[in-house]
Chain A
Amino acid sequence: MREEIIIRVGAKFLAPFIIMFALYVHFHGDYSPGGGFQAGVILAAAFALLALVYGLEAVQKVLPLRFTRMCAALGVLIFAGVGVVTMLLGHNYLGYNALAPDPTHPEHGQHYGILLVELGVLVTVFGVMVTVFYHFAGRGRGDS
């Protein structure tokens, strides 16, 4: 597959759009279907596509296994961290109203809270999917 020029060019052409779509799905999740989980999967799919066409080594230069493993843990930390921050601000755990810049409109804090925790979901799902893919795709070869 790595010698097919149409697939190589096609994958290179598609990947940025897939990544853009993933970000759209995340940031537009308040208004349309989708959210952090779907966005993370789509983002991971972009790198899986590149890895299938260009090989695992080429993609791991851009996105090392160590980084994706860190992402998997970082996302949970972001999610749980938002809860800790809201507690420090004097509200319940994950009580996003604490994040509102204007205390007369506490529901505005929900926007920020949801966006942040969904970012945590995105980072974890992306990291997990790519890590699992690396492990499956890299196994059975000598080293990768």
Chain B
Amino acid sequence: MSIVVDIVLFTLLGAAGFALLKVRNLFAVVMLAGIYSLLSAGLFTVMDAVDVAFTEAAVGAGISTVLFLGALALAGHHENRPGHTPLLPLIVVVVTGGALVYGTMDMPGFGHPGNPVHHHVADHYLEESYDEIGIPNVVTSVLASYRGYDTMGETTVVFAAAVGVMLLLSGARRPRSRGGGGGETAGEGEGA
């Protein structure tokens, strides 16, 4: 049963990916990107990574679709045809993809219980976390306690991203006001 779900999800994922490349209407592209994220979330669920699936569904399919729509309202709905031939990018992508596929040859089998990734610190987390942390969801214990520093770094990164967006977008509010003075006064007015 799981294999059927896998095949269906991957087929739809591939179809959504190709449609994303072909469609020139950006509104449709945004919707397809949301569908792509939702399908990825489904795949993560099949792989038992429910926390990742949850994040993908909330961020990828949810809030980023809304943000893309907000960007579309500013940028227009149609993508212009590229001025160059797609030959060189195609070669680059094929070579890079081939190298990546070649790289996976040396990787241990997917999901094999003897893989090194499952035996570095994972054993300790899975066996001891209930005694040490006392909560059933190991993902939360790893995220917030064992790897608390990393999570704090991530939170800081999210904050820094917002600062970047604010710096970029809250300057010149009106698209026509190109002058530095006009942009600054608009920014000050908004910040006050």
Contacts and interface: CB of A to CB of B under 8 A. Distances in A.
Interface string A1-33: 000000000000000000000000100011111
Interface residues of A, number: 54
Contact of A142 (B53, B135, B162, B174): B174
B69 to A, nearest CB: 8
Contacts of A72: 158-159, 162-163
Contact of B51 (A31, A33, A45, A121): A33
Contacts of A133: 63, 66-67, 70
B115 interface: no
Contacts of A135: 165-166, 169-170
Contact of A110 (B58, B145, B151, B166): B145
Contacts of B73: 137, 140
Contacts of A37: 55
A52 interface: yes
Contacts of B145: 94, 96, 110, 113-114
Interface string A113-140: 1100110110011011101110111111
Interface stretch (B3-11, B18-26, B77-85, B136-144): B136-144
B152 A94 contact: yes
Nearest to B45: A33
Interface string B42-79: 00000000110111001100110011001101100000
A126 B55 CA distance: 14
A116 B148 CA distance: 12
B106 interface: no
A107 to B, nearest CB: 4
A129 B136 CA distance: 29
Given A41-B58, A107-B132, A143-B173, A33 B50 contact: yes
A106 to B, nearest CB: 9
Given A107-B131, A143-B173, A125 B144 contact: no
Given A33-B139, A76-B152, A76-B156, 12 more contacts: A30-B135, A33-B137, A34-B54, A76-B155, A76-B159, A79-B151, A79-B152, A110-B132, A114-B140, A118-B144, A132-B162, A133-B67
